[in-house]
Amino acid sequence: MSFQQQADPVEYHLRWVESLPELASGRVLLRIARDDEFGKIADYVRRNREHLRPWEPTRRAEYFTDDYWRGAPARERQAAIQGKAYRFRIFLIGDETSIVGTVSLRDVVLGARRTATLGYSIDHAFCGRGLATEAAGIVLRFADDELKLKSVEATYVPWNAASARVLEKLGFKVRGVSRGSLRVNGSWHDQVIALRRASGFSVRSEQTTNS
C-alpha cells in the first residue's frame, strides 16, 4: 500500500435511538439491523454471493438462508448495547428497503488499549461510487469521537486492490502480513494487516431516547 492523499472527512450526524447509534451523511444511513430485518441481511448476502466469494472465508450453504440470519439482529443489537461490537448496515438515504453494504467494528477493547477491528463490504451494484470509503470513514469517526479508540486494525487479501485503496484513503498503514490465516475457496491465503491511529475528528451528536 503506497501512501497517498487521504480522503477528506465526511460531514455526518450521529443520533442515539434506544441506546444504539445511527450515523448519516448526505448519501448513506448506517444503523444496526432491527429484529424484523433478518430477511434484508439474507437478501444482501445472497445477492452478493459471487461478488464477495474471492474475499471472504468459505461459507456453508445455510449461510445464505433466511433462517441462518433470523436471530442475527437481536445478537448484533445486544453486542452494540454492551459495547463489544457494532455491525452497521448501510442504507441509501431515503431508501431503507434493502441493505447496500456493511461496516463493522468488532473485537472492541476499551480500557487502556482502546482498539477494534474494522470490516466492510459493499453491494456489487454500488461499487465504484465511493460508498465504502464514505461509510467506513463515518464509522471511523464514530470510533474516534464516541468510543475514543486509539487504533483500529483491518485486514485484506493481497489481491484485493480495491480494499487496499479504501484503507489507504482512510489513513491506514500496512503493518505486516498474517501468513496462511484465511481460507478462501478451499485454500489458505495470507492477509495484509493495516493499522490506523485515531485522528481526533469532532462530531455533532443528537440524543434521541425513542425511535
Mean confidence (pLDDT) of the chain: 89
Q: What is 159-193 written as a DSSP string?
A: T-HHHHHHHHHTT-EEEEEEEEEEEETTEEEEEEE
Q: Is the pLDDT of residue 22 over 50?
A: yes
Region for 35 from its dihedrals, namely left if φ exceeds 0, alpha if ψ lies in -120 to 50, beta otherwise: alpha
Q: How far apart are CA 31 and CA 75, in angstroms?
A: 14
Q: Which of 4-8, 113-117, 195-199, 201-205 has the highest mean pLDDT?
A: 113-117
Domains along the chain?
13-206 (3.40.630.30)
% of the chain beyond a pLDDT of 70: 89
pLDDT of residue 106: 96
pLDDT per residue over 156-180, tens digit each?
Answer: 999 899 999 999 999 999 999 999 8
> pLDDT (tens digit, 9 = 90+) per residue, 59-89?
999 999 999 999 999 999 999 999 999 999 9
Strand partners, 87: 104
CB contact at 8 A, 109 and 125: no
Q: Which of 90, 51, 80 lies closest to 146, judged by CA?
A: 80
Note the pTM of the prediction, 2 decimals: 0.87
Q: Give the model's pLDDT for residue 183.
A: 81
Span between the terminal Cα atoms of the chain, in Å: 42
